[in-house]
Amino acid sequence: MATEIKRKTGKDLKKDYQDNIIGTNALVARIKNRATELCEKYPDAPIGYYGAVGRELEKLGYITTSTYIDIIIAIEKHLADQHPHKQTKITF
């Protein structure tokens, strides 16, 4: 016997949409906070073409979320490059 798939109502879809917006806004806030935290903690790390701005990101004007992510990636790469020694896996 085939099971019937229940279709979502408009109210269900609206709730899903609102939940996704809330989740997206929370993610964007976490990304911005992480970028700001890394810039303050590692002011000499290069962050792409922005260079050294004193790490006050608000001075850069409007920054897209993808740019914040690029800044995080650049700082993390810089930190990884400072410690090139990597743990190797030993197998017996």
Q: CB 71: neighbour CB atoms within 10 A?
A: 26
Residue 35, amino acid: A
Give pTM, 2 decimals: 0.72
pLDDT, position 92 = 63
Q: What is the pLDDT along the chain (92 residues), one digit of tens a residue?
A: 556 778 889 999 999 999 999 999 999 999 999 988 988 888 888 877 666 555 566 666 778 899 889 889 988 888 888 876 666 666 66
- CB burial readout 36-61, b (16+ within 10 A) else e: bebbeebeebebeebeeeebebeeee
DSSP assigned state of 85? -
Domain borders along the chain are: 10-82
